[in-house]
Amino acid sequence: MSEFDLSNKVAVITGGSGTLGTAMAKGLSDAGARVCIIGRDIDKARRAARTISTDATRAMGLSADVTHPDEVERAAEAILMKWGQLDILVNAAGGNRPEATTNPKQCFFDLSPEVMRSVFDLNLTGSIIPSQVFGRTMAQQKSGVIVNISSMAASRPLTRVVSYAAAKAAIDNFTRWLAVYMAQEYSPSIRVNAMAPGFFLAEQNRAMLVDAATGELTPRGRAIIDHTPMSRFGDAEDLIGTLVWLTSDASRFVTGIVVPVDGGFSAFGGV
């Protein structure tokens, strides 16, 4: 079990103040890592850090917009000044916008290019920029791990979420490309992988899956459960085991893969 130990490691997680991000950050901390949560809202980032540890030497929150290189650079400088190293990057910042999805009142032909571009930027560019900034430090150290957060929508395009699905499909491709690049150009001890969560209830999708008034599943929520062999939505804690594996020496010969954490959704054909 010592191979899963993250003691003496420094981890950064973008989007770490959200439901899933905070759970993943706590999982890294429980495995021994010092953790920095990066989010656009500094108060939320700091609150999330305090839920992980009240010890400021173990967890901290910083603010940065992951689509702005200068803000990510400043965050990296603060982390290196405090802890002197960077071993793990989890690109968990992402999400969708209602204006970028199709529905009975909004067809594909009416979607605004600007709104769709904002979804691409948040999910794809918002993973590329931190990978450039923090990856540069890993290249200098000749070691490190990057974990991108993909989605079931990347490999099995889902209705409505056209912009989000396209952006996450690009994340899968970027993950594989960067894994090869970092290993060949800098060090085979720099690994890049991704996790593809199935359906987890979080702030951004709850209204789409659960009726707020009754607490019952919406038709979309019911369709998802019917196509998930484990017959439930994921809990945030379900991501931790895979994340600790991918960021620890237990997966030291694993790079360039996308791991589904989906209750069997990707394996089920519906019949």
C-alpha–C-alpha distance, residues 118 and 96, integer Å: 9
pTM, entire model: 0.95
In this structure, is residue 111 part of a structural domain? Answer: yes
Average pLDDT over residues 29-55: 96
User: Is the pLDDT reported for residue 113 higher than 90?
Assistant: yes
C-alpha–C-alpha distance, residues 93 and 199, integer Å: 17
Clarify whether residues 138 and 168 are in a common domain: yes
C-alpha–C-alpha distance, residues 237 and 250, integer Å: 19
C-alpha–C-alpha distance, residues 24 and 242, integer Å: 10
Clarify whether residues 59 and 191 are in a common domain: yes
Clarify whether residues 180 and 53 are in a common domain: yes
In this structure, is residue 120 part of a structural domain? Answer: yes
Residue 250 to residues 144, 196, 231, 242: CA-CA distances in angstroms? 14, 19, 29, 11
Clarify whether residues 148 and 206 are in a common domain: no
In this structure, is residue 269 part of a structural domain? Answer: no
In this structure, is residue 271 part of a structural domain? Answer: no
Kindly report, residue by residue over 182-228, the tens digit of the pLDDT: 999 999 999 999 999 999 987 777 877 888 889 899 999 999 999 99
In this structure, is residue 249 part of a structural domain? Answer: yes
pLDDT band at 106 (very low <50, low <70, confident <90, very high): very high
In this structure, is residue 225 part of a structural domain? Answer: yes
| CATH number reported for the structural domain that contains residue 144 in this entry | 3.40.50.720
In this structure, is residue 223 part of a structural domain? Answer: yes
Average pLDDT over residues 240-248: 98
pLDDT attached to residue 88: 98
Average pLDDT over residues 179-183: 98
Clarify whether residues 162 and 228 are in a common domain: no
Domains in the chain: how many in total? 2
Which positions are annotated as active-site residues? Answer: 164
Q: Work out the angle at residue 81's Cα, subtended by the Cα atoms of residues 79 and 84, and round it to the nearest 5 degrees.
A: 80
Residues near 217 by beta carbon (within 8 Å), at least 6 away in sequence: 209, 210, 211, 225
Clarify whether residues 68 and 113 are in a common domain: yes
pLDDT attached to residue 1: 81
Q: Which two tokens stand for residue 224?
A: 């998802």
Clarify whether residues 160 and 228 are in a common domain: no
Clarify whether residues 84 and 217 are in a common domain: no
Clarify whether residues 98 and 219 are in a common domain: no
Compute how many other C-beta atoms are within 10 angstroms of the C-beta atom of residue 26.
20
By the 8 A CB rule, do 18 and 12 touch?
A: no
Residue 145 sits in which domain range?
Answer: 2-198+234-263
Compute how many other C-beta atoms are within 10 angstroms of the C-beta atom of residue 41.
12
Clarify whether residues 126 and 257 are in a common domain: yes
Clarify whether residues 53 and 110 are in a common domain: yes
In this structure, is residue 41 part of a structural domain? Answer: yes
Clarify whether residues 120 and 219 are in a common domain: no
pLDDT attached to residue 85: 97
